[in-house]
Structure 1
Amino acid sequence: MMLKKKTILLTVEKTNTGFSAFSKDYPILTTATSVPELINNAYEATNFYFEEEKINPESIQIKFEIDFEQFFKYFKVINAKFLAEKIGMNASLLSQYVQGHKKPSAKQTEKILSGIHQIGEELSGINLLQVV
């Protein structure tokens, strides 16, 4: 099989027992009980598949995608109302995206993702004081 793309896109889903990731373009599928384990398993499964195809796995970039509903199920710590306020979006509209009732446009998706990244950057810059 020829490598169609240098980027392998894996779709992540929450399951009853953990998580799964699969490619729509290649027969690559893996499961795990946690997201870090899933990422490791996905790299291993992708490398294994392309090793058999005699393709250099170092030349392949793996990207993960997750839909809004799955994302907010996993990252329950991110409050949709708070995020909507942070990015200047109507909270009920974001809630409809999260519940899967509506699909955001590419522009809305980028706005939401940018807000999530901003929150992540803010959190990563925080140090907690140790009480002695």
Structure 2
Amino acid sequence: MDSVKKVTAVVEASKDGFGIYVENDDLPLTSFGSTIEAAKKDLADVLKEMVQSYKKADLPKAYNGGKIEFVYKYDIGSILQHFGVFDTSALAKRLGINASLLRQYKGGLAKAGPKQKQKIQTGLHNLGRELLSIKM
């Protein structure tokens, strides 16, 4: 019996919505949607269609028979656009980065390097922990 295979799927923002692609060359899957949820649903549908196509063509079992769990990785623009609750200037100040640069990341006009991505990710995780600690 095949076990569930974890596969990294990258979510990227565009001016029209969100695209997702799988990083694994053995699984050339892509999807698109006006929201991240729609793009994720589309990716699941694409996987299902590919598995069915392989079965109909009597080809060897592919795509792990559909037993795949997507682990999503987001680009900076998709996070900021998806949540839409962050004031870019305030977030940049909190993260200790230039607000203009963060706006460029959000709009896809610039790509953050590994160190900058880590700084933003750490800052967002710290913010998340602070929010989780709130008692009302």
Same fold (TM over 0.5): yes
Tell me what 2:58 maps to. none
Give the C-alpha shift of residue 17 in structure 1.
9.3
**Which whole-Å deviations, capped at 9, do the CAs of 1:72-127 have from their partners, x for residues lacking one?**
11111122212211121121222222222221110000000111111111111112
Tell me what 1:3 maps to. none
d(CA) in 2 for partners of 1:36, 1:124: 23
Tell me what 1:81 maps to. 89
SS state at 1:8 partner: strand
Give the C-alpha shift of residue 29 in structure 1.
4.4
d(CA) in 2 for partners of 1:54, 1:38: 19
SS state at 1:11 partner: strand
Tell me what 2:21 maps to. 22
How many residue pairs match? The answer is 122
Counterparts of 1:49-128 in structure 2, within 5 Å, are: 52-53=61-62, 55=64, 62-128=70-136
Give the C-alpha shift of residue 43 in structure 1.
6.7
Q: Which runs of 5+ in 1 are unaligned?
A: 1-5
Q: TM-score, normalised by structure 1?
A: 0.63
Give the C-alpha shift of residue 53 in structure 1.
3.2
Change (3 A) 1:44 1:125: farther
The higher relative CO (CA closer than 8 Å, separation ≥ 6) is in 2
Ranges of 4+ aligned residues in structure 1 off by more than 4 Å = 13-20, 29-50, 54-58
After superposition, the CA RMSD in angstroms is 3.3
Q: Decide which moves more: 31-40 or 71-80.
A: 31-40
Change (3 A) 1:18 1:94: closer
d(CA) in 2 for partners of 1:38, 1:45: 10
d(CA) in 2 for partners of 1:104, 1:120: 21
Change (3 A) 1:105 1:32: closer
Q: Do the aligned residues in 1 keep the contact of 2:36 with 2:82 (CA within 8 Å)?
A: no
Q: Do the aligned residues in 2 keep the contact of 1:13 with 1:19 (CA within 8 Å)?
A: yes
Kindly, what percent of the aligned residue pairs are identical? 27
Q: TM-score, normalised by structure 2?
A: 0.62
